[in-house]
Homo-oligomer: A and B are copies of this chain.
Amino acid sequence: MSRVSLLSDLLGSIGARSWFHGEDGGKAISLPELAALCHKLVSSRGEATGVRLAADVLKGVRGLDDKAAKRFFHMLAEEFTPDAEALRGAASAYADNPGPDTLVELQRLAEAPRQELFRRLNLAPGGTAELVKLRERLLPFLRSDRERLGAVDADLRHLFQSWFNRGFLMLKPIDWDTPASVLEKIIRYEAVHAIGNWDELRQRLAPADRRCFGFFHPSIPDDPLIFVEVALTEDIPASIATVLDPDRAVLSPDAAQTAVFYSISNCHKGLAGVSFGSFLIKQVAEDLKETVPNLKTFVTLSPAPGFASWLSGLSADAVGSLEANEKRALAVIGEAGWSADPAKAEAARPGLLSLGARYYLRAKRGDGRPVDPVARFHLGNGAVLNRIMHLGDTSSSGLAQAHGLMVNYLYDLPRIEQRHEAYAADGEIAASRAVTALLPGRVGSHSMKDVA
């Protein structure tokens, strides 16, 4: 039924059409020509043929080499910036007489004309994805050129925060029935535990005790924005190797009590600063609760990416005041191959766990938040630091960045809001007793809270 309507649903968005057309290989367009096309596109003259103009501009931009691209961004920064004189006038008028009329006029003049340019570029087939790629090209230039290009980036980020509003995103399962064209992107995007080939991918998606979900934007239907990989298990696993073991017995979903979020990957650099992760975890947890009947526990299996770096940065004084087992651990992990030697690994355990507890509960940035970026993310979402695991990740990267430590963050759905608030307002770090008990001396602090 409704065949034609559905067809249209699937194909009808102008965006989707882009994939059916290859580059026609016409000759390159010069930067002045590109600038002229951009000006025409935002002018009233461009309205009648906006779709084609937008496509021409985007094609032209794709053809730019890095040097020309940088000049293109400079052009956007200079030629599509607010009219300083007019804006100054409006600013003064508002400063003299704040009110709705002066406000609306000030807002109108404060918006850079490139915002309208970006909106019109979106008319082109595949425009939304192209604009995301445009920002991906811009970002490297920012480091050395923030003064000139920062406002262009701010405009793109602002636009994307509006367009990629959570309310527009679609949560979709990614599984072995997903098109290969999407799955090959999953292999490419996986940022936490690399997927080596299609057989490994199948291991992540096809077994009955695995799940994967991504957020998609309707105008970029075949390319996820972010995705999370989930293992259904009985208990909370003690290491990533257990989770990824291809020879494990596959668990029947009906027997699963725990959902382990063991990998979350953002897919597009051009969307940096536009956050989806918090929504994704909560939405997936809600969905799993409805479809996997006996789930009780929602927990991450997360890296401790800053641990080794923090440890090596400790002052001599700080090292001197460590507990004996911590010093022993420091000695052990200085030896090559310690993690593969059971005796050495065991000797390092108490000290590493104790150091881990310090790292999570006491090490703070200037703003009073934890040093660990993953911790900031999950604690900010209202999760609890639930467990620190020795030898949780013995891959070379796991040893290099965290001496093998991994942690769980627990998402206790009914208490997420309260914990989020306590963290947001007071920087209070929710941690389980198992974690706080690892602290040497074991004295509580105002920024740490035991969790039953």
Residues on A facing B (Cβ under 8 Å): 1-16, 22, 44-45, 47-51, 77, 81-82, 84, 87-88, 90-92, 94-95, 98, 100-101, 103-104, 106-107, 110-112, 119, 122-124, 127-128, 147-148, 150-151, 154, 158-159, 161-163, 165-184, 197-198, 202, 205-206, 208, 216, 218-219, 221-222, 252, 278, 283, 380-382, 416-417, 420-421, 424-425
A-B pairs with beta carbons under 8 Å apart, 9 shown: A1-B182, A1-B222, A8-B173, A12-B216, A45-B420, A77-B100, A87-B106, A107-B111, A177-B181
Evaluate whether A208 and B22 lie within 8 angstroms (CB atoms) in the complex, with A1-B9, A2-B177, A2-B178 already known. yes
Tell whether, in the assembled complex, residue B124 and residue A167 are in contact, meaning their CB atoms are under 8 Å apart: yes
Q: Considering only CB atoms, which chain B residue lies closest to A126 in the complex?
A: B167
Tell whether, in the assembled complex, residue B22 and residue A178 are in contact, meaning their CB atoms are under 8 Å apart: no
**Chain A facing B: main interface SS:** helix
**How near does chain B come to A35, taking the closest CB pair, in angstroms?**
19
Determine the distance from Cα of A169 to Cα of B2 in the docked complex, in whole angstroms.
18
Q: How many copies does the complex hold?
A: 4
Task: Select one of B9, B82, B171, B218 contacting A103, CB under 8 A.
Answer: B82
**How near does chain B come to A368, taking the closest CB pair, in angstroms?**
14
- 6 A-B pairs with least C-beta separation: A91-B91, A218-B218, A122-B167, A48-B420, A8-B172, A12-B170
Tell whether, in the assembled complex, residue A154 and residue B45 are in contact, meaning their CB atoms are under 8 Å apart: no
Q: Considering only CB atoms, which chain B residue lies closest to A382 in the complex?
A: B48
Residues from chain B with a CB closer than 8 A to the CB of A98 are 84, 87-88
Tell whether, in the assembled complex, residue B177 and residue A3 are in contact, meaning their CB atoms are under 8 Å apart: yes
Q: Supply 6 further A-B pairs (C-beta < 8 A) apart from A162-B163, A176-B181.
A: A3-B177, A91-B91, A95-B95, A119-B165, A163-B168, A168-B218
Determine the distance from Cα of A192 to Cα of B444 in the docked complex, in whole angstroms.
71
Residues from chain B with a CB closer than 8 A to the CB of A91 are 90-92, 94-95, 106
Determine the distance from Cα of A25 to Cα of B95 in the docked complex, in whole angstroms.
47
Tell whether, in the assembled complex, residue A166 and residue B122 are in contact, meaning their CB atoms are under 8 Å apart: yes
